[in-house]
Amino acid sequence: MLQGKKGIVFGVANHRSLAWFITKALSKAGAKLAITYQDKRFEQKLKKLADEELPIPPLTFLCDIRDDNRIEEVYRQLQDSFGGLDFIIHSIAFAAKEDLEGRFIQTSRSGFLLAMEVSVYSLSAIVRPALPLMEKGGSIVTLSYLGGQRVVPHYNVMGVAKAALESSVRYLAADLGEKNIRVNALSPGPFNTLSARGIKGFTGFLGHFQGKTPLQRNIEGEDVGNTALFLCSDLSKGITGETIYVDAGYHIMGS
């Protein structure tokens, strides 16, 4: 489905990362990929994982998205290697641990700004310098969560960040539509990852969630990977500015 297409996935930490499930789905569909990771200590394991599980070996880049120079360097290297880009996956979020366990009212100025910079501004920060590589159009996909629409215990400042992220998706979609670049968000249900475990009470929440969904189950990484594949493919060419729930139907329920 993605033969001849090229893309970059930002935010792979390990084999549990939603970005990793997306990487696998895109790679299996024939895309040539680059993946980025935040921390040098992820590097060896990720390269091993890529060798073992991906049909097409990816380019790999260390990239902290707070560093604009680094982002530009990644795209310079991609221009040399790929010559262009068809899609970007943004699977990055962060808030300080203390802001994901106390009360929202206690969020500090620095904690608020950190969550907004890493989880929201980073989308624009990685899309803008990519535009010269996307002259034939393309697809951008980010990851949100229901906590941006409703109050979810302990999600706090990250909920505010996800609301801003979903709004960024709409503004970017309106800005970039004339270039035939589509911008959408996936909103998965809870899934056990490094970041998710940083939210107080997360494990208990998984059990609660399973009992409340129409499909009577938690989501699987493949559910997210395959929906991202749909959004990166021409099958979704009429969809932009949208947030698509991948949550076994949880968000439709009244209680």
Q: Can residue 200 be called a binding residue for ligand NAD (CB under 6 A)? A: no
Task: Indicate the residue among 121 and 180 with the shorter CB distance to ligand NAD.
Answer: 121
- Near ligand NAD by CB under 6 A, which window of 92-100, 101-109, 130-138, 169-177? 92-100
Q: Can residue 212 be called a binding residue for ligand NAD (CB under 6 A)? A: no
Give burial (CB, 10 Å; 0-12/13-18/19+) of 47: middle
Active site residues: 145, 155
Site track for ligand NAD across 221-250, x = CB under 6 A: ------------------------------
Question: How many whole angstroms separate alpha carbon 167 and alpha carbon 188?
Answer: 17
Q: Which of residues 5-64 bind ligand NAD (CB under 6 A)?
A: 11-13, 17-19, 38, 64
Please tell me the total number of residues recorded for the chain in this structure: 255
CB hemisphere CA count around 191 (13 angstroms): 25
User: How many angstroms from the chain centroid is the CA of residue 21?
Assistant: 11
Give burial (CB, 10 Å; 0-12/13-18/19+) of 41: exposed
Question: Residue 17 Cβ, how far from ligand NAD at the closest point, in Å?
Answer: 3
Give the interface with ligand NAD as residue ranges (CB under 6 A): 11-13, 17-19, 38, 64-66, 91-94, 118, 143, 145, 188, 190-191, 193-196
